[in-house]
Amino acid sequence: MKLRRLGLTAVTMLLALHLGPSLAGEQKNYSLTASYKEECGSCHVPYPPQLLPADSWRSLMGGLDKHFGSNATLEASVAKEITQFLVVNAGRSGQSQAVGAKAPTLRITETAWFKREHRDGHDGLSASVWQSAAVKTPANCAACHREAGEGNYSERGIRIPRSK
Amino acid sequence: MKFHFPLFVGLVTLAAGAAYAETPLDFLNTYQAEARRADPGFAASAPRGQQFFRRTGNQDWSCSTCHTENPLAMGKHATTGKIIDPLAPAANDKRFTRQDKVEKWFKRNCNDVVGRQCTPAEKSDVIAYLISAKR
């Protein structure tokens, strides 16, 4: 009996340890606004706002004319509305800051959280998965997180494509 | 008076059609008319549109880099890998139905591909090509 309870406690603790840090990115506790999905979710999935701190979103939205190689400028009123949505739902800077960075990072993939959750060997990830034609780039969330377009990154929605 | 009534309705419908372009053909005609102001002999051409669609410009991108050489097929964004719905109206009836969207994407994508805004002639050629793509 005692042993069983101990086992149960251990399992619960392990679960808590596993889920704890990842909650920020995987639990949907906001709803993506229509304008965010429409304007930002056409060229890439509408990334979850809590994966970058408010400073990062402000900086990113202030530089849309040079947005990772494209001019993604929006109408001023739309840009304002989207910035507000991102900032209100942003993550805490502690958890989504890039390791050792001075300026706010504009890339989710540079954050400590992303790196930890997508480290080699975790959930069957390996270099060949990233390089496969179906994934191609870590920016392509929807390649594995099948419901990323709707902001759903739950474990159940993950299907890692076979790398060839 | 009675006799002229259908003509009047027809004219109003035509005018409304021009103001609120809602079909791919409306967009083709609007851009073609714009191009004719500079070049009265201009006629939109699907083969020329196809050439333009496949021609690489800035950073080695062409329209077909993301939209593929078959506008009836699903595309894939060159940097993010995101799946893009087909461009040809025959494969996707949402394409070329809203002026704000059409203008927005020509503006952004022409900037990415040719590093400038597309001319009305280029736009009407590309739409002629996309309309000509049939299953």
Residue A45 in contact with partner chain B when CB distance is under 8 A:
yes
Mean of the pLDDT values across residues A11-34?
Answer: 54
Q: Which of B59, B80, B111 sits opposite A43 (nearest CB)?
A: B80
- Name the more confident of B7 and B32: B32
- The 10s digit of each residue's pLDDT in A32-62 is 899 999 999 999 999 999 999 999 999 999 9
Cα–Cα distance measured from residue A163 to residue B21, given in angstroms and rounded to the nearest whole number: 45
What's the pTM?
0.77
Least confident of A49-58, A123-132, B64-73: A123-132
Query: What is the average pLDDT across B103-130?
Result: 96
**Does the CB of B80 have a partner CB in chain A at under 8 Å?**
yes
In sequence order, what are the residues at sequence separation of 6 or more whose Cβ sits closer than 8 angstroms to the Cβ of residue B133? B70, B71, B72, B88, B90, B91
User: Residue B5 — pLDDT band, cuts 50, 70, 90?
Assistant: low
E strands in B17-129: 75-76, 83-84
- Quickly state the pLDDT bin for A69 (edges 50, 70, 90): confident
pLDDT band at B135 (very low <50, low <70, confident <90, very high): confident
Given a cut of 90, whether residue A96 has pLDDT beyond it is no
Which chain A residues are closer than 8 Å to B77 by Cβ?
Answer: 43-44
Mutate to test the interface with A, among B58, B66, B79, B102 (most CBs of A within 10 A): B79
Does residue B52 surpass a pLDDT of 70? yes
- Indicate the average pLDDT of chain B: 89
**What is the rounded CA–CA span in Å between residue A69 and residue B115?**
12
* Average pLDDT score over chain A: 83
**Residue B119: per-residue pLDDT:** 98
ipTM of the complex: 0.76
- CB-based contact, B34 to chain A, within 8 Å: no
CA distance to partner chain B, nearest, from residue A5 (Å):
47
Q: Is the pLDDT of residue A12 over 90?
A: no
> Residues near A50 by Cβ (< 8 Å), separated by ≥ 6?
A24, A25, A29, A30, A89, A90, A91, A96
Determine contact: B58 vs chain A, CB below 8 A. no
Domain ranges, ordered by start, for chain A: 27-157
Interface probe for A, chosen from B59, B67, B74, B82 (most Cβ of A below 10 Å), is B82
Name the nearest CA neighbour of B101 among B83, B121, B90, B87. B87
pLDDT at A39: 95
Q: How confident is the model at residue A86 (pLDDT cuts 50, 70, 90)?
A: very high
